[in-house]
Structure 1
Amino acid sequence: MKQLLVFVLFSALFCWLMFSPIYKHVLVIRQALLQQEVDYMLEIGASGRYGYIDREMVDDSRGRLAEYGFTSALLEYEIESTSGADSGNSMLPLPRGTGIRLRISYPYENLLDIDRLIGLARPSEDARISGRGMKMSEYVPD
């Protein structure tokens, strides 16, 4: 009986040791992809040509992230300006010096379920990984 118990416990620990780094790697890659997308969108949206991040840019971003395996419906975008003005209005771009803040978040899904094998609690259902950033608008009206 002891040998069976030791085998079961050792098997669970062995599975966790083998597969946990893979899941952690996927988690780190997802967070890095979110941060890369935030940086890209801020670079484009805050440029001298635009001065905003509109719905079309967000839809394009959802498509790019979906190519990497994200479920586009689960992505949440929070876009705001430091002045309180609408940061998504292409008819009224934010003037130079106004900050644009962007946060893209995504749920953990079931990535950390394997941690339960060794007694670690998984994140709550509403916990999310995210990328965030802020860039000053460079738009100057003609």
Structure 2
Amino acid sequence: MKQILVFLLFSGMFCWLMFSPVYKHVLVLRQALLQQEADYLLEVGASGRYGYIDEALIAESMARLEESGFEPDKLEYEVGSASGAEAGNASMPLARGEGIKLIIRYPYDGLLNIDRLIGIEPDDDAFLSASGMKMSEYVP
């Protein structure tokens, strides 16, 4: 009986040691893709042409992230400005020097479930997030 128990414990530990780095790699890759998209969206939104990040830019961002394997309905975007003004209004772009803030969130989506093999309970409500702030370059 002890040998069966030891076998089960070792097999669980062995599976975790074999596959956990793969899942962590996927997690790091998703985080990098989110941060890259946040940086790109801020670069475009804060450019001299826009001065805002509206729903059309967010929809394009969701389409790009969907190509990378993200589910668009699970992505959450939060756009704001350093002064509290609305940063998503195309009819009132932020003037030059005003900060545009962006946060993109995406759930872990069960990537950490393999940690249950060694007794670590993952938080089901946890999110990956990428954020940034860039000064607007829009001149009216």
Shared fold per TM-score greater than 0.5? yes
**What amino acid does structure 2 have at the position aligned with 1:139?**
Y
3-state SS of the aligned residue for 1:12? helix
Question: Do structure 1's residue 6 and structure 2's residue 31 form an aligned pair?
Answer: no
- CA offsets per residue over residues 60-95 of structure 1, 9 Å max, x none? 000000111111000000000112211111111100
**What amino acid does structure 1 have at the position aligned with 2:127?**
R
Cα distance in 2, alignment partners of residues 6 and 83 from structure 1: 60
CA RMSD of aligned residues (A): 0.7
Using the TM superposition, give the Cα deviation of residue 4 of structure 1 relative to its aligned residue in structure 2, in angstroms: 1.1
Query: Matches of residues 73-112 of structure 1 in structure 2 within 5 Å?
Result: 73-112=73-112
Using the TM superposition, give the Cα deviation of residue 104 of structure 1 relative to its aligned residue in structure 2, in angstroms: 0.1
What percent of counterpart residues are identical? 66
Equivalent residue number for residue 53 of structure 2: 53
3-state SS of the aligned residue for 1:40? helix
Query: Matches of residues 1-142 of structure 1 in structure 2 within 5 Å?
Result: 1-123=1-123, 125-141=124-140
TM-score by length of 1: 0.96
Cα distance in 2, alignment partners of residues 96 and 121 from structure 1: 47
Cα distance in 1, alignment partners of residues 4 and 89 from structure 2: 65
TM-score by length of 2: 0.97
Aligned pairs, number:
140
3-state SS of the aligned residue for 1:35? helix
Moved over 3 A (4+): none
Cα distance in 2, alignment partners of residues 49 and 5 from structure 1: 65
Gaps of 5+ in 1: none
